[in-house]
Structure formats: structure tokens, C-alpha cells
Structure 1
Amino acid sequence: MEQLCKLILYVTLLLLLPVSISSLQECNFPAIFNFGDSNSDTGALTAMFGQPASPPPNGETFFHSPAGRVCDGRLLIDFIAEGLGIPYLSAYLDSMGTNFTHGANYAPIGSTIRRQNTTIFQSGYSPISLDIQYEQFSYFLKRSQIIRQKGDIFKYMFPEEYEFSSALYTFDIGGNDLSAGYQFNMSIEQVKAYVPDVISEFTTTIKNVYALGGRAFWIHNTGPVGCLPYILDTQVITAAQVDNHGCAAPFNEVSQYFNKQLKEAIVQLQKDLHLAAITYVDIYSAKYSLFAQAKKLGFGNPFLVCCGHGGKYNFNNAMRCGWTKMVNGKETVPAQSCEDPSSRVLWDGIHFTEVANKWVYSQIADGAYSDPPTPLKMACHKMI
């Protein structure tokens, strides 16, 4: 009897031990479904409104022409796809010869978690909020299987039904919910006051995707918006509010408040959604580290924009990268790219350059910034 009790105790202790990463096989994700904003839009807004959404010189470094991305090249989601051996994601809204076999991207430029009470022409914020992205995904899941049944070429344009539960679900959204408040002249305290509602909307979407079979979630928190020229150049910031690395501390504190609320919500989801493997990725710390170490890493001034026009940061919110204006009856492009985008952290004052995105990916892929500390290729496993 004593031996049996010892055996039971031993087995119980083994079950309580954390899962060892080294003992697990890498995940074989057949597809990625991405939800987000301009940090991961691979062509949604361009499909809606045409090339003005991401005009030249966007795309010049890697794609050598505009590719629906607000960047000189690849985004973080592109490097995630590469890391998993999956083709770059096509935008769900792009109907031009698109193959969705390996997933779909629902993220448009300007998207928010909460719906905005303005049009995109008034504020620049997309009507495709996170709840709408979920509805698009839900429709895609159901409709894709009906289309596959037609056979022929249609069979090879969409994932098989079982692949939806084996896919990776990535989320990179929330920054615009904060910047929208600043744009509409809200105080920092007013913006913080609606963060819990934003987080509630976010968790509702995670639960909805889970209910449709999603099991592996890779969720980015929001970055240090107080380090972006978009904030530094358009908000009233005193010298005392600038931190040791040149970022606007009060605005970063709001981002950190958002991230704290998000992490608490995800911890609860990890408990509630028993079959889900949910990884919280601290993008804030990875990106802030890049600003802090920029000169050491060979980037020089991290706030100097590559594609911009005038001012302290080479940023003009009224004349962004690639925008045109008429001068003496001729169309000109004042905001053009710098000679070497690989020497800059920031592409246009809001978004990172390809080389900066690649650096951030190199920091997060091994799980060093994740909770639980799960590498990207192990994100299908539920860690204790």
C-alpha cells in the first residue's frame, strides 16, 4: 500500500511539472489567420481603396513596388510566415487571383478593436474593426468549405476544414484604439478610462474564434506609441515628460496600462479556454529595446524617419510617405524615402522599416518575450 501511495504521489508530481520545450515536437501549422491593423496589413486597404493606401515608395526594398504594406518591405507577419514555412498571407478582401490555402489576413490599415464613430475619410480609421474581422473570418470558414466542394481549381484555393483547428491565429491590434483618443483631443486619463472596454472587446473575439475551433493563439500587445514621431510631433510634450531614450513617457505609460490589462485578460483566458494554447507576446518591450539600443545596433537616430518630409523627425502628418501635392500645376511627391532604409528604425513615422521588423522578429521568435516563454514554432502546445 505504501509503495502504491508513493507511485501515485510520483505520478502526480510529474503531471504538475511544467512541460519541457525540448521534449515537444515543433508545430506543423498548415495556415495562419491574422487579425490586426496597419502593422500587419498585407493589402486589405489597398484592395478597398486602391494604391493610394500604400503608394510608392512603399515596398521598394523587398517587393520593388507597392505590395499593400505600409513599409519599405516585409512586415512582422511576413517574417512570422517565413519562420513557419508558410507563404505570405493574402488579404481576405483581395479578390485578385488570391489563393487562401495557407490562411488569410483580415487586418486593414487603420483598424481598431472598438468601432469608431467616424468614417475613414474623416479620421483615417478603418471601418473594419476587430469584430468585423471576426465576422469575415467566420464567413470565410463556412463559405470556403462550400466552395471547395465544387472541386476543380476551387478545391486548391482554400484550407481543408480540419486545418482551421490546426492553424495559428495571430493578433496584432490595439495601438489605434489609443491614438484615436489622442487624435480626438482626449486626455491621457480619458483614454485610460476606456481601455477596459477595449480589452473586453478583444477577449470576446478570442472566445469567438475559439468557439469556431481556433486553438493556437499568438497575441501581441501594443507597442510604445510614445516613441513614434506621429505622437512626438503632434502632441504637446514637455521636456520633463521625455524619458532617457527620447520617448514620451506619459503616452508609453498608457500603452503599458493597456498591456497590463490585456495580459490579465489573457491569463484568465488561459484558464477558461482549456483546449487553447495562448501565447502573450510582449512586443512593447522588444520594440522599446530597439529604440533604446538603436545606435549600438547601427541605426543612428531611432526617431529620424526614412520616408517623410521636413521637421525635426523628417515627419509631417499632413504629408506622409508617398503622398502627392500639386505645385505649379504639376504633381510632386515631397515625402520620399531615404537613401538607405536599412539604416533607419522608422519607415514613415508610424511604422517600422523592414530591417527593424526583422530585428523584432528575431527577438520574439524564440519565446524570450512571451508568456508562457513559448517559441513561435511551439505555439500549438499548451504550456503550464
Structure 2
Amino acid sequence: MTRLRRSTTLLSLLLGLLVCQQVQGEPAEGCFPAIFAFGDGQFDTGTISGTFPTILAYDHPPYGQTYFKKPSGRYSDGRLMLDFIAEALGLGRISAALQTVTSDYSSGATWGSAFSTITSVAAGHTAGPGLFLSPFGIGVQVMQFVEFQLSVNSQVNKQARLMAKLRGDFTDDAPSEDKKKKKKKDPKKPRYFLQEINNDDEMKPLAVNMTLLELEAPTMRLPKKGSWSNALYLIGTGGHDITNNLNNGKSIKHVEDMFPRLINTLGESLTRLNHLGARHVIVFGLEPQGCQPWLLTRIRHTADDLDWKGCLVKYNNLVQNFNRMLRNQVANWRQSHDGLDIYYFSQYDVKIGLLTNDTAGFKSTNTACCGVAGSTYNVNLMVPCGPPAMDPATNMTETPTVCSNPNEYLYWDGMYTTEAGNRYVIQQMLTGKYFDIPFPLLTEKCVVNPLS
């Protein structure tokens, strides 16, 4: 074997070690070392994009234009609530767990999926014209988390064994042909990995210019030590269970009768997460869906069906009933799960408050910033925000346009919130006013960064 081949063999060994990740570092006192998120599009930073690349409108401009300057796998013009929570906690971007090639999971991961549900999706069911339902319901997401945790733990254990062995094979000097000649150690020199290479006839030491730090650096790409039990877990889903059933002809009474089963299913997922280490959990209540531009477009209505804010009364009442049941169940889960710090966050109250708060800076609260002009709510259900598309109703190609001031709009594409709206919701969350009980670990003990 030539020296070049020996070097190549050893470097291949070392590069193989680089993929072995290690959880390291201790969580900061009173704060969260990572975020793990489950639910629908409010937490989706690339799940659907990674699964169905380039197929959906939000993989194309103008999505992402405000902050990322390009599509980023998010249903928004910029950052999501998940991004702002991570920023407040001093964490990096929360990558979608399905994006495994280049992703950095040192700050956690999200299994959130746009258009996902609590219940399993029946074949052929859709959320309405031009929409679909995700195959990644909450139960599937939790199963994916189980696999993620097993994979991380396996890599950690493997890397720990390898590093323990390799540390003994590092030296401050490259091997010298002259064994009698001793060189003074230079603290600035890199440490060398020393490995005996079999050259058929003899064993010779070979030094590779790779420092111990270089070997350990890739281990920073997984959650830090203690993350399973010290991380902040976010759960937010259920809205598409309501709209899917109503849009498939189910009555409001039928949907309300489903609520106990939906929340029980959510509880089963929560219990499993708790068994896997989850201790600090925020459950997001549903937003006022009756105010969403896409639903106002989808549901035929008269002025009598709207409240003074321009929202569909029956839909918002339905959402409030779900939220009340969910909030009560969160309190029950808190009592029935030992060591579980769980809180209900009323996203509904935040957004309803925004609709009536003239000082919040939002001038348009039920019109989409990005959509096809000409409709009351700037929404064409068959031509979503994104690239030009054929409208089957007119057989004409329509081109969505973008408002000039997205920071003054609550809704970006008619369903999902603008970056400005997401920032506002998290700013209100961090005041602590919208939790069912005080959450001092988040709002008092943790040093929270101002949102950009």
C-alpha cells in the first residue's frame, strides 16, 4: 500500500467519524437549550417543502421575500412564530426534522407540517378547493420524533466511544523518523492524529494534520446535552380538522361532537412525548379562523353572518368552543402527568385583540397581502399566492400580486400570517398575559432577547 493510499484510507476513516454526532454542553440555567415543535404550518420550516419540493406554491416567490429574500419552506413572507421564539431564547434556526442532509439541529427541530391534522387523513379528503391535507398528522410527527431521538442517542453513544478511544491517540507532535531527536512542544501547533498503518510488511505511524477540535466540531449539529428533558416543546394543531370536516359537508354539530376525540388523541401524543422526556410544553390554542381571508372567501355569507370585526361568527364560536375544551384539558394534563410543566397559550385572544388595537400597526386584518386582485379579500381559491396559474373558472391565467406594505397586514396569503403578525403574537406571548397560568420559567427566569 502506498503512502498516498494509506493517507486516503485514514482520511476516509476520519471523515466517517465526522458524521457521528455528539450531544454536548449544558443548558443555561433558567432557559431552554432547544425547541421541539409539533403541529401545522405555524411551525413548518420545511417539512412539506422537503417532502414535496417545488410542487406547492410556497416553494416559489414571493414567499420568503420580507426576511429570507427567497422561499424558505415557510408559509409566510418571512419568519414564523417558531423563528421568533427561537430568537427570543437566543437559539438558532429550528430546522425541519425531515431535512437531514445539511440541517443543524443544535437548537432543536420541528415536525410541524402545513395542513396537518390531529386525526388521520382519509384518502380523497381535502381542506377545500386548491388545498390539500398533509400526511404528517400529530401521531405521525410524534413517531418521527421517536425515530429522531433513537438516532441521536445512537450517534451520541457511538461518538462517545470513538472519541474516548481517539483521544488517547492524539499527540502534540507529528511522528519523527529520528526517534532520538526531541522537539520542544509548540502550543500553537495543531495536535495530530497518530495511527499505526499496516503496510503489509511493517507497521508505520502516519500523522494526519487534523486537530481534535476539527474532529469534534461536527458534533455541534445535534441538540445539546439535556435537551430531551430541558427543551421547550410546542404543540399547535387542530384547525384543519375543523375546516376539513366542514368543507366535506359535515355539520357544525358533528364537528363539535368530534372535539373530545380530537383532544383525547392530542393527549395521547402528549403522554408519549412526556414519556420521551418532555417536561416544558406550550399548547397553542386555535386562532380565530372565522377572520381568515381564505375562509371568508370559501364560505358564502351575508353581512348578518359577520361580527363588527368582519369575522364569521359561527366559525369563531366553534373555534372558541374547541379552545375552551382544550384549555380545560391542559389543566387536567398538568395534574395527571408528574413533573409536566404544561401551559395553554391563547393565540385566539392575541389575534382578536390585534383586530381591535389600532396602535398595533395593522391596517388590514382580513385581507390577504398576496393574492389575486379583484375579490373582496384578495383571495382566489384556485390561484394561490405564488407563480401565475390557470383559473379553471375563467380559463385565464392569473398572476398574484403582493401588497407594498406587508408589515401592515395580518395575513400573508389568506390563511397564514405575515412575518409582522407572527412577531406581534410572540411579543404578546412573552408578556405572559395570554397563558392559562403564569409560566415564570419562560417569562421571568429566562433571559429573553428583544425580537428583531
**Common fold: TM-score over 0.5:** yes
User: Which sits farther off after the overlay, 233-242 or 104-113?
Assistant: 233-242
- Inter-partner Cα distance in structure 1 for 2:445 and 2:147: 24
Of 92, 95, 98, the residue aligned with 1:87 is 92
Alpha-carbon deviation of 1:271? 0.4
Q: Residues 203 and 271 of structure 1: is their aligned pair in 2 closer, same or farther, counting only changes over 3 Å?
A: same
1:11 matched residue in structure 2: none
Unaligned stretches of 5+ residues in structure 2: 1-27, 160-214, 447-452
Q: 1:309 is matched by which residue type in structure 2?
A: V
2:399 maps to which of 334, 344, 348: 334
Judged with a 3 Å threshold, the aligned counterparts in structure 2 of structure 1 residues 254 and 379 are, in CA distance, closer, same or farther, namely: farther
Aligned-partner Cα distance in 1 for 2:111–2:151: 15
Greater shift in the superposed pair: 295-304 or 227-236: 295-304
Instruction: Name the SS of the counterpart of 1:39 in structure 2.
Output: helix
Q: Which amino acid aligns with 2:279?
A: R
* Counterpart check, 1:354 vs 2:419: yes
Moved over 6 A (4+): none
Aligned to 2:368, what secondary structure does the other structure show?
A: coil
Given candidates 39, 42, 50, the residue that maps to 1:39 is 42
Q: What TM-score, normalized to structure 1?
A: 0.87
Q: What is residue 206 of structure 1 aligned with on the other side?
A: 270
Give secondary structure in 2 for the equivalent of 1:107.
coil
| Structure 1 residues 380 and 103: alpha-carbon distance in aligned structure 2, compared to 1, 3 A threshold | farther
Measured after TM superposition, the shift of residue 305 of structure 1 is: 1.0
State yes or no: 1:191 paired with 2:191. no
The two structures, once aligned, show a CA RMSD in angstroms of 2.2
Q: Deviations over 1:117-157 (max 9, x none)?
A: 02588960000000000001111111111123443566332
**Distance apart, 1:186 and its partner CA:** 1.6
| TM-score, normalising length: structure 2 | 0.74
Q: Which residue of 2 aligns with 1:306?
A: 369
Offset of 1:51 from its aligned partner?
Answer: 2.9
Name whichever of 52-61 and 159-168 sits farther off: 159-168
Please state if 1:145 is matched with 2:153. Answer: yes
Could you tell me which residue of structure 1 aligns to residue 438 of structure 2?
373
Does structure 2 retain, via aligned residues, the 8 Å contact 1:119–1:126? no
Counterpart for residue 61 of structure 2: 56
Amino acid across the alignment from 1:89:
I
CA distance in structure 2 between the partners assigned to 1:380 and 1:35 by the alignment: 25
Offset of 1:185 from its aligned partner? Answer: 2.0
Q: Judging changes above 3 Å, is the alpha-carbon distance between structure 1 residues 150 and 62 closer, same or farther for their aligned structure 2 residues?
A: same
Q: CA deviation at 1:376?
A: 6.7
Contact 1:325–1:332 under 8 Å retained in 2: yes
Q: Distance in 1 between matches of 2:33 and 2:70?
A: 28
Instruction: Give the percent of matched residue pairs that are identical in Structure 1 and Structure 2.
Output: 31
Aligned counterparts of 2:346 and 2:33: Cα–Cα separation in 1: 25
**Contact preservation (8 Å) 1:26, 1:377:** no
Residues 333 and 149 (structure 1), Cα distance of their counterparts in 2 relative to 1, 3 Å cut: farther
Question: 1:265 and 1:78, CA in 2 relative to 1: closer, same or farther beyond 3 A?
Answer: same
Q: Does 1:66 find its partner at 2:71?
A: yes
Whole-angstrom CA distance in 1 between matches of 2:444 and 2:259? 27
Measured against aligned partners, the alpha-carbon deviations of 1:264-316 in whole angstroms (never above 9, x if no partner) come to: 111111101120111110111001111222x4433223112100113101011
**2:383–2:390: 8 Å Cα contact kept in structure 1?**
no
Maintained 8 Å contact 2:230/2:280: yes
**Deviation of the 1:159 alpha carbon:** 2.0
**Aligned pairs (5 A) from 1:1-384:** 27-53=30-56, 54=58, 55-118=60-123, 124-151=132-159, 152=215, 155-160=219-224, 162-293=226-357, 295-310=358-373, 311-325=375-389, 334-374=399-439, 377-378=442-443
Is the partner of 1:33 in helix, strand or coil?
strand
CA offsets 1:224-253 (integer angstroms, 9 cap, x no match) = 000011211111323222111111110001
Q: Any idea what the Cα deviations from partners look like across 1:152-206, whole Å, max 9, x if unmatched? A: 5663322255321111101111111111112212221121111111101111111
Q: Report the count of equivalent residues.
A: 353
The alpha-carbon distance between structure 1 residues 190 and 73, as it changes in their structure 2 partners (threshold 3 A), is same
SS in 1 for 2:97: coil
Distance across 2 between alignment mates of 1:158 and 1:195: 37
Contact 1:169 1:216 in 2 (8 A): yes
Q: Which amino acid aligns with 1:336?
A: T
Corresponding letter in the other structure for 1:100: Y
Structure 1 gap ranges (5+)? 1-24
Stretch moving more, 110-119 or 120-129: 120-129
CA distance in 1, matches of 2:29, 2:427: 18
The code of the aligned residue for 2:435 comes to S
SS at match of 1:148: helix
